[in-house]
Amino acid sequence: MDARFVPLFVIIPLASAFLIPLFAKLWQRSADLIANAVGAVLAGLSVYGALSLFTGSQVLVYRLGGWHPSLGITLAYDHLTALVVLAVNIVGLCALLFAVRYLDHYTGRWKFYALFMLILVGLNGVSVTGDMFNLFVFTEIAAVSSYALVAFGTDFDELEAGFKYMVIGEIGGAAILLAIALLYAKASTLNMAVVSQVMAGFGRTPLFWLIVAMFLVGFAIKMAMVPFHAWLPDAHPSAPAPVSALLSGVFIKVLGVYAMSRVMFNVFGLSRANAAGFFNLLIGFGVLSIVAGGLLAYAQKDYKRLLAYSSISQIGYILIGLGIGNYWGIVGALFHILAHALGKGLLFLTAGSVEHATGTRDLDRLSGLEKRMPATAWSYLLGSLSLAGVPPFAGFFSKFFIIVGALSADMYWLAILAALFSTVTLGYLVKVANRAFFARRDREPTAAREAPAVMVVAMLGLLVLTIVLGVGFKPVVDRLVGPAANVLLQGLGYAQGILGM
């Protein structure tokens, strides 16, 4: 299979990030057109990429500049990459579509799109790269653009959230950079495949665990697992809604979960069999995130802040899935990346739609929006059912697989906890529905009009995909998520796929 399409995931948004400011000087609205066209092309390309893996090849390797892997940067496209890239670009497309009208009450439209394109560069780059330092660079490209976008409204709260996010995020970035420096000192190469071969012959010394710990801290901050989550509940609500959808939907998973699992499983070769302590630690953090995130979400009065805490809680599910470490646990975790990307992306878009229509996110000041904004209300209700794990939506199957994984690993208490806390998820999501969408006896329905057609299309697109992913879970698991889980489970076998070309 030809791997020539792989660098396009980075080239296209990068080139458009520079072209958008130029064309916007000539015609302001050209930014909308370019950004949405790029979003559509990237989404199409990611579908093409996923389909091209169906023909049987395990990994597509692309050598940047034609250099040999030990010298140059390689890009690798396997099932895990395909899954993550698919989530990024589909949520990205819907968010861009939503932004066309949502940005009406912001200024500097082209700046938004240029930064958004740079986030896509970073996320796609992290997903496709096979090089350690490249991973760091793309992480920072995405992170720095997101700092600016969180503060995009330039009010006091937004600037404060952006600054806090930047300080904490850079501590994580510094930890990752330090870990890469230590790794380079030990392995004398930065190519992931070559590094993993060197690490295979390197004992489990204190230095090894120091490197693992530095990576874990760095990625833990990027994925906002408890107790590294302090930035997220401020940052995600402050960003414009399309950006919140991208940040909560895919950003924390690509920079945190995907990058961590790629490094831990495929580069360091950790598995439940040889590093049970590490995996128990993941489960511990996962449980902490589920419990703390879920309970804190209950207490929120701000629509988007509640969703942000919910993201922390859902990251916990992904973590325990990875921590269980067997096939079904990892399938559940990866399926939850998809399900949560679509579901949480959708919920943040509905929050944007409500804010656009009423000018507030305060749940105490909203009421009875279901009559005035039926499309938004039903998108919210069905999306939240998916996140809470109600069949036949996508969220049910991811939690189901995680529970199956826990049961087959004899972790009964974990299975019970996961099931119990999906009712908590349902609880806090219903709270929003009760306050904002259903009529309340003690107060008049809030005056509002349904969101513009483009925004409704963006929300319905994500809703349809959530339902399709749920109903058609079988082929998705067989063709995409299952092979992606096997990529992680093969551990150091990853290197052979890359170097064996």
**Shortest distance, position 361 Cβ to other proteins, whole Å:** 25
Q: Identify the three-state secondary structure at position 136.
A: helix
**Shortest distance, position 72 Cβ to other proteins, whole Å:** 9
**Shortest distance, position 12 Cβ to other proteins, whole Å:** 10
> Taking every pair of C-alpha atoms in the chain, what is the biggest distance, in angstroms?
70
* Long-range Cβ pairs for the range 491-494 (8 Å, 24+): 491/265, 491/266, 491/269, 491/270, 491/271, 492/196, 492/197, 492/200, 492/266, 492/269, 494/59, 494/78, 494/192, 494/193, 494/196, 494/265, 494/266, 494/267
Q: What is the DSSP letter of 71?
A: T
- Site for other proteins (CB under 8 A): which residue of 56, 65, 201, 203? 65
CA distance 153 to 332: 37
- Site for other proteins (CB under 8 A): which residue of 62, 152, 396, 400? 62
Binding segment for other proteins among 38-46, 57-65, 79-87, 379-387 (CB under 8 A)? 57-65
- Site for other proteins (CB under 8 A): which residue of 15, 207, 426, 430? 15
| DSSP H stretches of helix in 53-155 | 79-102, 109-128, 132-150
Nearer to other proteins, 162 or 332 (CB): 162
For position 25 contacting other proteins by CB under 8 A, the verdict is yes
Nearest to 81 by CA among 46, 115, 55: 46
**Shortest distance, position 157 Cβ to other proteins, whole Å:** 17
- Site for other proteins (CB under 8 A): which residue of 1, 30, 108, 159? 108
For position 479 contacting other proteins by CB under 8 A, the verdict is no
For position 147 contacting other proteins by CB under 8 A, the verdict is no
Nearer to other proteins, 240 or 269 (CB): 240
74 strand-pairing partners:
63
Nearest to 387 by CA among 411, 421, 353, 352: 421
For position 154 contacting other proteins by CB under 8 A, the verdict is yes
CA distance 378 to 361: 18
For position 7 contacting other proteins by CB under 8 A, the verdict is yes
For position 19 contacting other proteins by CB under 8 A, the verdict is yes
**Shortest distance, position 18 Cβ to other proteins, whole Å:** 4
Nearer to other proteins, 133 or 327 (CB): 133
| 299 within 8 A of 424, measured Cβ to Cβ | no
**Shortest distance, position 479 Cβ to other proteins, whole Å:** 28
Nearer to other proteins, 68 or 449 (CB): 68
**Shortest distance, position 487 Cβ to other proteins, whole Å:** 24
Structural tokens at position 438:
């259903």
Q: Which residues bind other proteins (CB under 8 A)?
A: 4, 7, 11, 14-15, 17-19, 21-22, 25, 62-66, 107-108, 154
